[in-house]
Chains A and B, each alone.
Chain A
Amino acid sequence: MLAFLPLYQQAILSLAAMILFTSFVLLAQNGVLAIIHVFAWQGLLVAVTTAFVAFDSGAGHLYFSALMTITLKVIFIPWLLHRLVRRLGIDRETHSVERPARVLMSAAALVVFCYYVAQPIQQYSAALTRNTIAISMSVVMLGMLMLITRRKAVSQVIGFMSLENGLFFAAVSATHGMPMFVELGIAFDVLVAAVIFGVFFFHIRDSIDSLDVGQLNRLAERDE
């Protein structure tokens, strides 16, 4: 089946699998800098996939999306986070994953679940990349899982960004991208989010002396 597809379409599928793999790695990764690097790699993979899809479908605006992904998610945001982490002095810190085996197992279950959910959707899509819908959904889900399982703010932000990667990838693979305006809007949202997060890190640390968001529950009004 696969053998009859042109090579660049095979490449799209392989890249999709690699994007999924980076999501798994993000889930299990401990070091702060390593997480940022993996995120950059994921962005690069998404960008390359987008370029391939653009070539496959002839949708010229996707090249622009790819370029934007590279500047934003491969270069700018990782650079910003890198700088933040340095300035906050937490580049040596490890954000240990609690019970990595359990997290990975639930991740696996999520992927199977996404596949189950995506199967009916796939039938409505005519694109050759429809098989990747399940993958992109999985990337979204794994991003959410990362948001849930991490305690430190930086890795949560990465989880959020990776979730956004999944959404973007879903748009690219299912419908050959969203309209340009929407895409631009989202891109700027992400950009602004990254900057605001950066500012917030300092504030969080100033107010609770840590970037552990588990500590934020101290801000809740409770009777103790």
Chain B
Amino acid sequence: MSHHLFVQMLAFALGGSLGSALVSLVADRYPRVLSRVAFPALAVAGAASVTIGLEAILTGGRFAVELPLGLPWLHWHLKLDPLAGFFFSLIGIGTLAAGLYGPAYCREFRHGPYSLAVLGLATGLFIAGMQLVVLADDAFAFMIAWELMSLSSYFLVGYQHQNAANRRAAFFYLLMAQIGGLSILLSFGVLAGFGHGFTFEEMRAAPLSLSWSSIAFTLALVGFGAKAGLVPLHAWLPEAHPVAPSHISALMSGVMLKVSVYGFIRVVFDLIGSPHWSWGVALLIIAGITALYGVLYALLQNNLKRLLAYSSVENIGIIFIGLGLSIIFYGTGQHLLGTLGLVAALYHSLNHMLFKSLLFLGAGTVLQRAREHDLERMGGLLKALPWTGLCFLIGCMSISALPPSNGFVSEWVTFQTALQATSLESGVLRAVIPITAAVLALTGALAAACFVKVYGVAFLGLARTRRGRRCTEAGPGMVGAQGMLAALCLMFGVFPTATVTALNHIVTDLTGHALTAATANGWLWLTPISSDTASYSAPLVSLGVLLSLAAWAVVYLVLRPGGHARMTRGDTWDCGFGPLNARMQYTSTAFTMPVQRIFKPFWDLREEVEREPRNGLPQEPERLRHQLHVDDISWRLLYTPVVKLLHATTRRVGRIQTGHLRHYLAYSFITLILLLWIIT
């Protein structure tokens, strides 16, 4: 692609999102603008982003432009290298899906109390912000774009602001985003201070001592970790992601978290350059805790979108496990394995972007069609929403890491990286890494349980509400967006070799080290280290699964009409007690009860039981109501103490606010004298 063409495509990508934002300004007066112009513009922007992103990955090209914006002596540097291209195309896929999904989904907001203009404007700016973060090639542009992304998403989280909980979630989100942003700024400050300049080029050349680079790493970890949702900085995520409109939730969980992964990779692997192995150990431990924590909390949620948000925390943990492994191996000189870890992390980023967006869009469809976000009141939706149900099933398979889906491949590669720990010198690392792998295994198994619950309770069984029984399938736009993501999930699961080849390009470009044997045996076989060590043939496995589906089809289409495979319908077995009804099914809370009992100390559980006793018969109450509240333990352990401390400090500091004008003048006076003293 020539430079000229690149600039044109970039104009499409950025212009699409910014244009969509501008056009939406009139959406309150002409609501149709949103569905006719703004969302299609987003779709175009998404498609253009995917195109140039892929181009950058496949050709390994670097495209740079300098925009005459920003400070007079520091114009905005934008650059697209393969790493940025990869994340740029992730943003593109998410945007495309949102652009397809949005028009029909946002129709319900037309008659609501909320401003459509704000929705369109914030959505466009949000996407443009994410695109610019990935494109930025200097710290200044990066921070502006980062804050644009944070601020516009704040308005999206608080969009339905009449609900007090939403406002609180939005504020908390903004607070955490600001703390994270500050930390990133400081990290850039360290790099810029030693590099004598704000462009990434100059930062890369910064000569850092180990202690200063460790400080920069820690600041970057806190900053990007707060945005990505690493425990214990994740607490905003399950509050903020569920309350935004569903296509925005999909963008936030699917795409925005990946943008912070991008930022982390950019700073640690590119700008700091030579990561120290001990950072990897710290990261590995945090990531392991994050993964387990996320899935345990996801399991117990009954609000579908909140559950998905917690599951994002889990998946971020898995991605960072890959990154931690990569840092450890790079830091100890095992470049091949370091590359493998990074490839695993990128692969999982891609996968999580796909299936989490898919699942959030599915949850949005359920929310719109069945008006329900509570799993306890869903059920039987597969019959009402067959296509959404199918796509959601594929999403559930992927997120549960079942072969031959894409989620399985990335977890498998992560496992393979972890199992190479025997090649390390340090004995403790040899012990710690497999333990993390075991945590990952536990996480995967719990995630499968979680999504069996979700799918079983929401889409299978009997409908628990009238609306759930009566609702109809969503329109082609909404289904199409989900179908596209589901197809991509399958594609990246069935053809991992091509994907790994592409990711290998990116990592080679970034670190200078390449995987040698991973795809050496042709497109059928994925052999991360060598064919003796481990091999996986996703196409053949998929063929096997397809053959079993074909067997069903043969029985169904050939044998049954021929009268060979007879089938009759009857009533469900009820032990002879009379008809079953929807309320006798296993509920979401009931399903997770055994797990809840086993892992009890991990949650703050509050159980509410209300019973209305019947006269004289305490054993058989008239009415029984049971409710389980799951509180995030990080509030009790971290946030509440911090808030208390803050309150105490501010109260103490507040004493200087005496209210006397003389005192304030005295403060100014003292400050002035101090400043003069410092200057001299």
Contacts and interface: CB of A to CB of B under 8 A. Distances in A.
Contact flag (A, B; Cβ within 8 A): yes
Interface of A: 99, 101-102, 108, 112, 115-116, 119
A24 to B, nearest CB: 15
A115 B428 contact: yes
A30 to B, nearest CB: 16
B601 A99 contact: yes
Contact of B601 (A102, A108, A115, A116): A102
14 contacts: A99-B601, A101-B598, A101-B601, A102-B601, A108-B435, A112-B431, A112-B432, A112-B435, A115-B427, A115-B428, A115-B431, A116-B427, A116-B428, A119-B427
Contacts of B427: 115-116, 119
Contacts of A102: 601
Contacts of A115: 427-428, 431
Interface in B100-143: none
A101 B435 CA distance: 15
A112 B598 CA distance: 25
Interface of B: 427-428, 431-432, 435, 598-599, 601
A115 B432 CA distance: 11
A28 to B, nearest CB: 14
Given A101-B601, A116-B428, 13 more contacts: A99-B601, A101-B598, A101-B599, A108-B435, A112-B428, A112-B431, A112-B432, A112-B435, A115-B427, A115-B428, A115-B431, A116-B427, A119-B427
Nearest to A105: B435
A124 to B, nearest CB: 16
Nearest to A116: B428
Contacts of A108: 435
Contacts of A101: 598-599, 601
Contacts of A116: 427-428
Contacts of B432: 112
- Nearest 5 A-B pairs (CB), nearest first? A116-B428, A112-B431, A119-B427, A99-B601, A115-B427
Nearest to A111: B431
Nearest to B598: A101
Contacts of A112: 428, 431-432, 435
A115 B598 CA distance: 30
A211 to B, nearest CB: 26
Contacts of A99: 601
Contacts of B428: 112, 115-116
Contacts of B598: 101
A102 B600 CA distance: 11
A101 B439 CA distance: 13
A101 B602 CA distance: 11
Nearest to A117: B428
A108 B432 CA distance: 10
B445 to A, nearest CB: 15
Contacts of B599: 101
Contacts of A119: 427
A112 B435 CA distance: 10
A102 B432 CA distance: 17
Contacts of B435: 108, 112
Nearest to A112: B431
B633 to A, nearest CB: 13
A112 B601 CA distance: 24
Contacts of B601: 99, 101-102
B427 to A, nearest CB: 6
B236 to A, nearest CB: 27
Nearest to B428: A116
Nearest to B431: A112
A119 B427 CA distance: 8
A122 to B, nearest CB: 10
B587 to A, nearest CB: 26
> Among B431, B432, B598, which residue has the most Cβ atoms of chain A within 10 A?
B431
A108 B288 CA distance: 15
Nearest to B435: A108
A59 B427 CA distance: 31
B569 to A, nearest CB: 46
A108 B599 CA distance: 18
B502 to A, nearest CB: 37
A99 B427 CA distance: 29
B140 to A, nearest CB: 44
A196 B402 CA distance: 59
A72 to B, nearest CB: 34
A102 B431 CA distance: 19
B67 to A, nearest CB: 52
B353 to A, nearest CB: 32
B655 to A, nearest CB: 35
A125 to B, nearest CB: 15
A102 B427 CA distance: 24
Nearest to A99: B601
B664 to A, nearest CB: 48
A7 B598 CA distance: 41
A146 to B, nearest CB: 19
A116 B428 CA distance: 6
Nearest to A119: B427
A99 B601 CA distance: 8
A92 B458 CA distance: 46
A134 to B, nearest CB: 9
A32 to B, nearest CB: 24
A116 B598 CA distance: 31
Nearest to A102: B601
Nearest to B600: A99
A115 B427 CA distance: 8
B663 to A, nearest CB: 45
A101 B599 CA distance: 8
A157 B599 CA distance: 29
A88 B450 CA distance: 47
A14 to B, nearest CB: 19
A153 B427 CA distance: 37
Contacts of B431: 112, 115
A101 B600 CA distance: 10
Nearest to B432: A112
A115 B429 CA distance: 11
> Among B427, B432, B435, B598, which residue has the most Cβ atoms of chain A within 10 A?
B427
A51 B467 CA distance: 75
A115 B431 CA distance: 9
A205 B431 CA distance: 44
B596 to A, nearest CB: 13
A114 to B, nearest CB: 10
B293 to A, nearest CB: 14
